[in-house]
Amino acid sequence: MEIYGVYGKYLPRVKEFVMNKIVEMNQTEILRKNEKLYEHLIGRVKTEDSMIEKCQRKGLSLNSKSSLTECKDAIGIRVVCNFIDDIYRVVNLLKQQDWCNVIKEKDYVSNSKQNGYRSYHLIVSVKTDFPGIEAPKNGRYFVEVQLRTIAMDSWASLEHEMKYKHNVKNAEQIGKELKRCADQLASCDVQMQTIRQVIHEND
């Protein structure tokens, strides 16, 4: 089953396009003698199977329209930063780019989820040279960009492991410990951020 239809083949290319744009943003920052924007960058196209599962879960019909416009995370890019401030630097820069429009944002960094999850989520719409679902030439594609610090990223990996392992013993207790760990990591992130500011206080 090909849920993305004829557009499936463009998704990896749109992903590459956006990742290159973010790499360029970083290079521009470094040329301006600013600190680098992020530590690393990864991207993925959601597999057909996961997208089918998601559409079914949301009660959407299984076609390219659902998977590309109603679901906006067929393409996902994660920007992993060194410091909390860098997350907001990237967000602000993304909002100024002419190749994309931020259409939705959720700040789980300053408003963490109940379980302790912290990240900044953006949905951007990107104008491309590829055919798109509502335009035969310059199609628009949605990309979900997730920004987080290294600490938030490690935490999310651990939480992910717990979530997808179904026979965890003491799940509730481990959930509590994970939350406590999230608070401690947030504490370290804030501390590093503060030390960085103190170092640069007199710049």
* Chain residues in the site for other proteins (CB under 8 A): 84, 110-112, 180, 183-184, 186-187, 190-191, 193-195, 197-198
In this structure, the dihedral spanned by the alpha carbons of residues 184, 189, 190 and 196, taken in order and rounded to 10 degrees, is 150
Cross-strand pairs, 107? 120
CB of 186 to other proteins, least distance (A): 5
Residue placing its CB nearer to other proteins in the complex, 71 or 84: 84
Residue placing its CB nearer to other proteins in the complex, 83 or 141: 83
CB of 194 to other proteins, least distance (A): 5
CB of 41 to other proteins, least distance (A): 24
Distance between CA 127 and CA 59 in Å, rounded? Answer: 28
CB of 189 to other proteins, least distance (A): 8
CB of 2 to other proteins, least distance (A): 42
Residue placing its CB nearer to other proteins in the complex, 134 or 172: 172
Residue placing its CB nearer to other proteins in the complex, 1 or 198: 198
Residue placing its CB nearer to other proteins in the complex, 44 or 121: 121
Q: Cα-flanking dihedrals φ and ψ of residue 58, to 5°?
A: -90, 0
SS3 for 77? strand
In this structure, the dihedral spanned by the alpha carbons of residues 108, 39, 43 and 141, taken in order and rounded to 10 degrees, is 70
Residues in contact with 18: Cβ distance below 8 Å, sequence separation at least 6, in sequence order: 43, 75, 77, 100, 124, 126, 143, 145
